[in-house]
Structure 1
């Protein structure tokens, strides 16, 4: 039997609620499968932890997390804690500290009634974003000069290294080959305005395109990409983007899926030198926390991505099949999808479907 040590950071707000459902699904799979089991260690890090202790995680948090096979994160954010603190002192600290340079975001419509676009259905929306995840616009380089004066200046510097940019693009091309859908990679740029970082990005993309001649390529400015995602989403397969552009466009992609309740994400260190981290990206939604209204599908989908990465794709596929089946019965979904079910009831239903699959 393969036993996995999983670090669990439920975080804040609805993160705690949806995490329970993700764990419930993993325990169901473990109970049905004699070849896999999970040991979970919970960490109460997050914004409420920050309000108590003045820090988002333990000082030796990265050292503790190194010992695990994977990390599950619920959501981070709470009134009274600035967003740049909650993001940079926990999520980005883990992403950068563990060199999780790939952010993987599937954009896949599961039910046509959830699509906000007219004349588009499940056959039109199925793409994956490969977002650079440790540097770019989120490198954290910069500063504020003459703070509090009329001459105050804020500087924020993007950092693009050849080493990481090449690895991200390699990952995107290999993924397009593996998906075997359109065999296409779309690069997102803005080199007309960003005359150093994005000109460099375009140059590396061209070099990589020459290495993968069997893969079709295209490159669009980020503004045009957002338009094409709405007009003709079916033309996208794998999209590779910088940290900021990927962040923005994947939320647009989540809207195409039917909302942030479907927005699963993976922060991957492909070499497995460090553990990778899997999370829904819907935020902590404090206004609905504790009410049983949160949609757990993004968390459960993120668990599926964790199993894929741990090389248990058959189990991951079972989760995905159960999610697809669950969204067919609209009454038994959470209110954001027009249903009447609670967070826990949706989790129970997905587990029940998995059990029936055998």
Structure 2
């Protein structure tokens, strides 16, 4: 039997409400399949840790995480006490950058038991591949001057290597899905980086003509997400465009509380990190109503990444069955508590 060492970072807010109760579900799943055992290693690095120590993680935090098979994160952020740029750059983004988690993968699909806010939102199933290391989120730039003459400059940085990597990964996904890749662009308005993105994307597309490829301007693509989401399969986008599109995908599903995400290291040097999209949601902390489905679906992505696809599909099937039975938290029209939903998924796994 395999043993997987998983770093568990519940983080802040609803992450602490959800993550500890999700781990026994995964243990139950592992027991049923009999192929793996989880070695959970908990690290309580969060905004509370920052207030006590002046840093989001200890100086050797990355060294402590580096020998794990994966990182299972709950949420980061306590904006009332710690500014977001400190909490995010001190933990989440630091891990992403230092561990070369260069791709962010976020699926979105219509789920049984959840009504999409879209009028025709019952038939979509797509994945967004977001370039996660550069683009519009580079740290190059600064502020100059004062008063009326003050300016701010933010440089977007795009490299051939990163673009090729993102598009090729999108092609790998599409090969096992509906064989269609859409690349988000804005080359009609951004005159240097986006034509570069288009050129390299098209070059990669020529390597496999069995996959249908097209470029869509981000504004039109966003509109099409709303009006015809069923036409998309795999969407590849720059850091900023991917960030926006994936939150749209979560909203299209009916709640950001159900959306999962994976930050992937693709060279095998460092662990990948898996986190739900919903954030720390400080307004509902401790109320017992946080939606655990995003964390559970995130666990499914982690299992698949580690090579346990059958366990991942088993878990997603249980999630959808529980939703179809109407066991849901208030954000998606139900009355169940966080604990009741997790218990229902655990029962469904073993049924």
* TM-score using structure 1 length: 0.95
The 3-state SS of whatever aligns with 1:193 is coil
What is the match of residue 251 of structure 1?
247
What is the match of residue 105 of structure 2?
104
What is the match of residue 228 of structure 1?
224
What is the match of residue 36 of structure 2?
36
**TM-aligned CA deviation for residue 153 of structure 1:** 2.1
8 Å Cα contact 1:101-1:132 kept in structure 2? yes
8 Å Cα contact 1:21-1:296 kept in structure 2? no
Which one of the candidate residues 152, 155, 166 is aligned to 2:153?
Answer: 155
State how far apart, in whole Å, the 2-side matches of 1:295 and 1:161 are.
38
The 3-state SS of whatever aligns with 1:348 is helix
Are residue 76 (structure 1) and residue 76 (structure 2) matched? yes
156-165 vs 5-14, greater mean Cα deviation? 156-165
State how far apart, in whole Å, the 2-side matches of 1:18 and 1:134 are.
28
State how far apart, in whole Å, the 1-side matches of 2:302 and 2:332 are.
25
State how far apart, in whole Å, the 2-side matches of 1:138 and 1:192 are.
21
The 3-state SS of whatever aligns with 1:333 is coil
**1:244-323 to 2 correspondences below 5 Å:** 244-323=240-319
Cα deviation 1:84-115 (Å, max 9, x = unaligned): 22222211111111111111100111126521
34-43 vs 243-252, greater mean Cα deviation? 34-43
The 3-state SS of whatever aligns with 1:240 is strand
The 3-state SS of whatever aligns with 1:327 is helix
8 Å Cα contact 1:187-1:218 kept in structure 2? yes
8 Å Cα contact 2:113-2:324 kept in structure 1? no
Cα deviation 1:286-333 (Å, max 9, x = unaligned): 110011110000000000000000000000000000001000122x21
**TM-aligned CA deviation for residue 77 of structure 1:** 0.9
Unmatched segments (≥5 aa) in structure 2: none
State how far apart, in whole Å, the 2-side matches of 1:119 and 1:5 are.
42
Q: Residues 156 and 305 of structure 1: is their aligned pair in 2 closer, same or farther, counting only changes over 3 Å? A: same
The 3-state SS of whatever aligns with 1:159 is coil
State how far apart, in whole Å, the 2-side matches of 1:72 and 1:149 are.
45
User: What is the count of residue pairs matched by the alignment?
Assistant: 350
The 3-state SS of whatever aligns with 1:211 is coil
The 3-state SS of whatever aligns with 1:301 is helix
Which one of the candidate residues 317, 333, 340 is aligned to 1:345?
Answer: 340
**TM-aligned CA deviation for residue 196 of structure 1:** 1.1
Are residue 190 (structure 1) and residue 190 (structure 2) matched? no
16-25 vs 284-293, greater mean Cα deviation? 16-25
8 Å Cα contact 1:137-1:244 kept in structure 2? yes
Are residue 86 (structure 1) and residue 84 (structure 2) matched? no
What is the match of residue 15 of structure 2?
15
Cα deviation 1:235-272 (Å, max 9, x = unaligned): 10000000111001111111111111111000001222
Are residue 201 (structure 1) and residue 197 (structure 2) matched? yes
What is the match of residue 130 of structure 2?
131
Unmatched segments (≥5 aa) in structure 1: none
170-179 vs 151-160, greater mean Cα deviation? 151-160
**TM-aligned CA deviation for residue 7 of structure 1:** 0.4
Are residue 115 (structure 1) and residue 116 (structure 2) matched? yes
The runs of at least 4 consecutive aligned structure 1 residues that moved more than 6 Å come to none
What is the match of residue 96 of structure 2?
95
8 Å Cα contact 1:264-1:299 kept in structure 2? yes
